[in-house]
Amino acid sequence: MSHSMARREQERKLKEDLLAKVASIKDEGEQVEAAAKVEEDMIRQKAEDDLKKYMEDISKLEKEISELKLKSASSEIAALRRSIEGKGSQGASGSGGLKRDRECVMCLSEEKSVVFVPCAHQVLCAKCNEIHKREGMKDCPSCRTPIQQRIQARFSRP
């Protein structure tokens, strides 16, 4: 009997040890799960904060773009007005030394060198034409006819 009692005692101890190991592994798993949950919450909060910041930045940039487009349009309108006013004084010198009938209506310093098709107006220099095109302006600044083609042209001086 002593042998069977010793064996039962050994089995009981082994069972207790296994149950303790199972409990330890379970606790460890719960701790890992809790740490992962905390990390997930931190990552989620950072993503929400970043999204909010990015949305504010986008809104700020959109406002700046709108203001720049407004300034650009105002500059273009002012240049067109100066051009129209200058048409009455053909032959007067412009700010860049060009005759007003040959100066670009946007920068007022370079010589007109681009012809718009189909209206055939020549009102912009090459640099301002690139800006005009890049900004998505598709109409002639002089008559508002849709531009189908832009032709770089140089005319001989009289």
pLDDT of residue 95: 46
Tell me whether residue 146 is in a domain: yes
Strands 122-124 and 149-152: unpaired
**The pLDDT of residue 42 is above 50:** yes
Tell me whether residue 1 is in a domain: no
Locus of tokens 């531009």 = 147
Residue 121 burial (CB count, 10 A): 18
Over pLDDT 90: what percentage of the chain?
49
pLDDT of residue 151: 93
Tell me whether residue 71 is in a domain: no
The tens digit of pLDDT for each residue in 84-104 reads 666 554 444 444 455 777 888
How many domains does the structure of the chain reveal?
1
Q: How far apart are CA 37 and CA 40, in angstroms?
A: 5
Tell me whether residue 96 is in a domain: yes
| Most confident option among 39-48, 77-86, 124-133 | 39-48
For the purposes of burial, counting CB atoms within 10 Å of the CB of 145, is it exposed (0-12), middle (13-18) or buried (19 or more)? middle
pLDDT of residue 158: 53
Tell me whether residue 106 is in a domain: yes
Average pLDDT in the chain: 85
Tell me whether residue 111 is in a domain: yes
Q: What is the CATH number of the domain that holds 112?
A: 3.30.40.10
Tell me whether residue 58 is in a domain: no
Expressed as residue numbers, the domain containing 93 is 88-152
Q: Token digits for 6? A: 């010793």
pTM over 0.75: no
The tens digit of pLDDT for each residue in 9-30 reads 999 999 999 999 999 999 999 9
Q: Are 16 and 8 contacting, i.e. CB atoms less than 8 angstroms apart?
A: no
Tell me whether residue 46 is in a domain: no
Average confidence (pLDDT) over 79-87? 64
Residues in the chain: 158
Amino acid at 34: A
